[in-house]
Structure 1
């Protein structure tokens, strides 16, 4: 490369600031709701505790800190945070913290759980315990609510974290959980795409048979509150141009709000592809238990952590409203 004989400093274009318009809208909506009484399970590192305290400052949650008192207080001291006004339930270790948090939910003292600095498996083992857990008749499932640049609305991907190879019956619950969440987030109508590798039904690809059956379940009222179509390939589920090119006549194709994947592997790869290749942010929540469960990780950004809390707050508010509504 030719030079002028002088050292030329390398010039790099400044990265455009990340924007979170869809998450910002959810935060605004959630702050209009009462703070969600939330057991924060084992918030023993700075990231976990800071996320809970910031969500509390914004009025999203009213945290109950559950875990070893000395470690939580040490994390607060490292942050320079005052937790003197927060309720703190002392538990000797992470397993005990998960059990205590589940007990608080059973007693009606909290309306949600939030994962702190413990493994997801530790928390979920207490949630799904047959005796003393938080199981319901509904299958538990995970939803990623994704803020994808250049996509107008939040995009829900399910299930990418809980159910490895769900059966048709389990997929029905996975779909219904996602529909209930979408409605709580103000999405109407809710358009659900049952995603496969193709948009035609073929016995050689079992997920297309499940997709067709789920659509019929929706027709017969076994899934309610949404428009459901599938099988749809990813391109014609979210892109109108692709749907038109394939001549797919559907109220869902090209404008899906919810993407229901065939299995955990597909969902995990889809969510991570959107995150790392499309610059998306992914908030996470587990539904189907007696209370919503906010799942965050150490790698989550600040907007993602807050969005996860906002989503749980909106979901809980919608559920309270539904319970208070007189039956017709």
Structure 2
């Protein structure tokens, strides 16, 4: 059973090796992560970008690139398009963001001719391995959708559930975060949380998906807090997915987990035809490795 990010790495090692196209690969932490992932037989890497810069960086950090495929495309937009095209033509299984702005990569992903656009909304999913929590915690969306509507939250939640199921979670427990548990006309998060809970009860998110909402953060992750406040729910203290009402909430929780709770993490964009590995430029090689492993596991599910 997968309970940690290391477990995801192990799962990725056990499955068939995936091909990863890296857009603008001229970044030291990206190259470190990709090299380690390839060494662990998780992926076969295709490095797209400025070949001279890639070679210089690899030499500086002691990576041998003889087993890598390198495609020399210095222009960032063209490199992003090529990475996406590799997937759309079946030459790669998923994509990773290198030293390139997210907007440039997403423009390529949404390209009508060679892109990976699907019917689903694109959304960001972070997976946290928190020392004080008993299993992995999926958080969405703290990176893309600013103030999602109820309709958009339905898409965001579907994407996160797909990611969670790819890691082997049989019964997915979702907490739709708000400041309190009672529905209030003055707090849209409570209204949306209640609506999503009703949709789940009607089977909208599929079997074995429990959605609680509205629910505060403490009740979602602490059974003790739920007992003290007499809040009864199978999701209380057992949440797999935290659905943030706005990007600020998701972003704030995520960074608090990283910088104040020593959580390790992995980041992915869901909603396209394949997962897109996307983490912050401030994230280290370890985070990028975990993100590659996560992307590999999801890509192997042919979602």
CA distance in 2, matches of 1:55, 1:203: 49
Give SS of 2:83's match: helix
Structure 1 unaligned residues grouped into runs of 5+: 1-20, 321-328
Match of 1:290 in 2: 273
On the 8 A contact 2:268/2:295 being kept in 1, the answer is yes
CA contact (8 A) 2:32 2:285 kept: no
Corresponding residue of 1:325: none
Is residue 241 of structure 2 the alignment partner of residue 258 of structure 1? yes
Q: CA RMSD in A?
A: 1.5
Name 1:10's counterpart in structure 2: none
2:194 matched to 1:244? no
Q: How far apart are residue 305 of structure 1 and its match?
A: 1.7
Q: Distance in 2 between matches of 1:249 and 1:130?
A: 47
SS at the partner of 2:100? coil
Q: Which structure's CA Rg is the greater one? A: 1
What is the match of residue 233 of structure 1? Answer: 216
Say whether the 8 Å CA contact 1:140–1:288 is kept in structure 2.
yes
Match of 2:187 in 1: 205
Q: Higher RCO, 1 or 2 (CA under 8 Å, sep at least 6)?
A: 2
Work out whether residues 192 and 227 of structure 1, in 8 Å CA contact, stay in contact via their aligned partners in 2.
Answer: yes
State the shift of 1:33 in Å: 1.0
Structure 2 residue 145 is matched with structure 1 residue 163: yes
Q: Is contact 2:138–2:240 with CA below 8 Å preserved after alignment?
A: yes
Residue 130 of structure 1: how far off its partner (Å): 4.0
Once the two structures are superposed, residues 88-134 of structure 1 have per-residue CA deviations (whole angstroms, 9 ceiling, x without a partner) of 22212211110111111111211110111112222112112344321
Shift of 1:302: 3.4
* Whole-angstrom distance in 2 between the partners of 1:296 and 1:234: 24
1:211 and 1:177 mapped to 2: Cα distance? 17
Match for residue 94 of structure 2 among 112, 115, 130: 112
The answer to whether the aligner puts 1:152 opposite 2:100 as a matched pair is: no
Aligned length: 300
**Structure 2: stretches of 5+ with no match in the other structure:** none
Equivalent residue, structure 1, for 2:294: 311
Instruction: Name the SS for the 1:319 alignment partner.
Output: coil
The Cα of 1:298 is off from its aligned counterpart by: 3.7
Establish whether residue 88 from structure 1 lines up as the match of residue 70 from structure 2.
yes
Instruction: Output aligned runs, 1:61-100, within 5 Å.
Output: 61-100=43-82
| TM-score for the superposition, normalised by structure 2 | 0.94
Name the SS of the counterpart of 2:294 in structure 1: helix
Change (3 A) 1:120 1:193: same
**Cα deviation 1:230-276 (Å, max 9, x = unaligned):** 10000111101111222222111221010000011110001011111
TM-score (norm 1): 0.88
Please list the CA deviations of residues 33-86 of structure 1 after superposition, one character each: whole Å capped at 9, or x if unmatched.
112111011111222212111111111211111112222222222233221222
Q: CA deviation at 1:308?
A: 0.7
